[in-house]
Structure 1
Amino acid sequence: MSHPTNPEHTSTGPVLVTGCSSGIGAATADLLVKAGHTVYATARRTDTLTELESAGARVLPLDVTSEESMTAAVRAVEAEHGRVGALVNNAGYGEYGTIEETDLDKVRQMFETNVFGLSRMVQLVLPAMRAAGTGRIVNIGSMGGRFTWPVGGYYHATKYAVEAITDALRNEVRPFGIHVSLIEPGLIRTRFEGTAMGSEAAAEAQSSPYAALLTASASATGSGYANPVLATGPESVARVVLKAVESGRPRSRYVVTPAARAMIAARTLGGDRVWDGIVRQQFKA
């Protein structure tokens, strides 16, 4: 179902979305196109963007771990439009494992994508946004930026970092007419869960002192994503991103899925004792 073109979209300017090869990024770019926006869909490999290009998105190569690639993408949009109207920082993935056993080189790579790539994209688009006195930045965080499961500590750390960066940024750029929103999805059925479970499986070994925990974590992850009450499709996140891009007064935070809201509330209101009890029940620890 297509959305009617809103004439006010022209004031938003072009929307640059990172990580559009699949999942949330692909759904977001597609919905924004249908809503009448000029959308630049990006990914490391543009051959993953053919469907979005056919739908009307403009495609650009963009690797958020490469300074040259990030600079080139932003310059391409600015060369045609003068500025990026809205940046949707979606690129990210999860590297899972215990704190003791996870390869820290892999953790550093994850931080490069989830935290430093996001931050550098913000730095690159802001000068033109400030000069124009308007702009939108939408960071895709996670409910995992508000609480932490065992075996996910390093991934959660990247999302906690996105929380802090977004909070600081929102207040830094408000005087320049720039709105900043954080999207906090719950369990979203994308390729993410396969990556997460794969990284757990790679770390699991019979000789590991955490073998039972890793097995329980993989089981909980699989059952959680398979549960239609707990998990939903990427289109639900795309609809919220559209609100953040188009709203005259966007919220600072959007939590996606009732289950995510419930878990955030349990962690925030219950304190450590309640949360640790939930963890023990979930992982039978």
Structure 2
Amino acid sequence: MKKVAIITGASSGMGKSTAFELQTKGYKVYGMARRTDKMNDLKAKGMEVVSLDLTNDASIVNAVNTVLEKEGRIDVLVNNAGYGSYGSVEEVSIEEAKRQFEVNIFGLARITQLVLPTMRKQKSGRIVNISSMGGKIYTPFGAWYHATKFALEGWSDCLRIEVKPFGIDVAIVEPGGIQTEWGDIAMDNLEKVSGKGPYASMVKKVVDISGKNKNNLTPVEVLGKEIAKAATEKNPRTRYLKGYLAKPLVTLRKWLGDRTFDKMLMSQLK
């Protein structure tokens, strides 16, 4: 019997790349996302496509039940869905801040809750949470995004300890800069929210730096392979740090004091 993998946010980027990698490794793959029309290529390769809106509890319940009714088991959950809501703390609405947490934390937590009973009964399972180097560092105008990823890091650590006695492993993948639509969406949102207000001059510098770095970003396939590795290797690490600037920035943040790291960031905005 094939092992079964669920991947959220499988309509593009790292999620889609991971879906192809896990299918190559022999898994029965269920790609989940809101934009099911963007997953026709997965369907064409024999993967299952399921609609999933992480802000809607009924949608989450239905998605997990769909897999269980067809397969009767779940071996891997890759919590990949998420987005970056950028803008100054002053100008991002609390409504949008709550939506950022709804998708990046609470929706992720809910689908995890729903797969755990099956994994416990199997006495096996693997949960891979896609965090970010942004769960270890901070950048201007990313307060709400970083808040969700900092939260995901601690949440995942607690989960790992709780489920270990049941044969379930939890791994965190912390991508750096990757060639996906994530960055463009984040910067477009930043300009929309804070591009004309009191923070406009700093916003312009941040957007310009993001544009200049595009050619340096890590190909999405590299992360697809890393996520698939975290999902399948026998003794997974607790964390996988991969992608443009991920290791140097996280290392610097670890060893530099707050003020020094602040100065390093601000020096890039002169």
User: If the length of structure 2 is used for normalisation, what is the TM-score?
Assistant: 0.96
Do residues 217 (structure 1) and 203 (structure 2) align? Answer: no
1:227 maps to which residue?
A: 215
Supply the AA of the counterpart residue of 1:115.
I
Distance in 1 of aligned mates of 2:87 and 2:206? 9
1:6 maps to which residue?
A: none
Instruction: Please list, as runs of the form range in 1=range in 2, the aligned pairs for 1:198-217 lying within 5 A after superposition.
Output: 198-206=188-196, 208-217=197-206
Distance in 2 of aligned mates of 1:56 and 1:168? 36
1:280 maps to which residue?
A: 266
3-state SS of paired residue (1:160): helix
Q: Identity rate of aligned residues, in percent?
A: 41
Within the candidate set 242, 263, 278, 2:249 is matched to 263
Alpha-carbon displacement from aligned partner over 1:55-108 (angstroms, at most 9, x marks no partner):
121111111111111111111111222221100001000110111111221111
- CA contact 1:42–1:61 (8 Å) conserved in 2: yes
Within the candidate set 110, 116, 124, 1:126 is matched to 116
Deviation at 1:53? 0.8
2:185 maps to which residue?
A: 195
User: If the length of structure 1 is used for normalisation, what is the TM-score?
Assistant: 0.92
3-state SS of paired residue (1:220): helix
3-state SS of paired residue (2:73): coil
- CA contact 2:88–2:194 (8 Å) conserved in 1: no
3-state SS of paired residue (2:31): strand
2:229 maps to which residue?
A: 243
Within the candidate set 112, 118, 130, 1:140 is matched to 130
Stretch deviating more after TM superposition (252-261 or 177-186)? 252-261
Supply the AA of the counterpart residue of 2:226.
V
Distance in 2 of aligned mates of 1:204 and 1:197? 10
Aligned length: 270
Change over 3 Å in CA distance of 1:222–1:70 after alignment to 2: same
Distance in 2 of aligned mates of 1:59 and 1:258? 30
2:51 maps to which residue?
A: 61
3-state SS of paired residue (1:173): helix
Distance in 1 of aligned mates of 2:195 and 2:125? 48
Change over 3 Å in CA distance of 1:205–1:252 after alignment to 2: closer
Instruction: Please list, as runs of the form range in 1=range in 2, the aligned pairs for 1:66-215 lying within 5 A after superposition.
Output: 66-206=56-196, 208-215=197-204
Within the candidate set 16, 30, 47, 2:6 is matched to 16
Within the candidate set 233, 253, 257, 2:239 is matched to 253
Q: Give the alignment's Cα RMSD to 1 decimal.
A: 1.3
Question: What are the ranges of 5 or more consecutive residues in structure 2 without an aligned counterpart?
Answer: none
Question: What are the ranges of 5 or more consecutive residues in structure 1 without an aligned counterpart?
Answer: 1-8
Supply the AA of the counterpart residue of 1:28.
T
Deviation at 1:173? 0.4
Distance in 2 of aligned mates of 1:134 and 1:64? 25
Stretch deviating more after TM superposition (75-84 or 171-180)? 75-84
Alpha-carbon displacement from aligned partner over 1:182-205 (angstroms, at most 9, x marks no partner):
000000111111110111110234
Deviation at 1:258? 5.7
Distance in 1 of aligned mates of 2:91 and 2:123? 47
- CA contact 1:94–1:195 (8 Å) conserved in 2: yes
Supply the AA of the counterpart residue of 1:272.
D
Within the candidate set 14, 27, 31, 2:21 is matched to 31
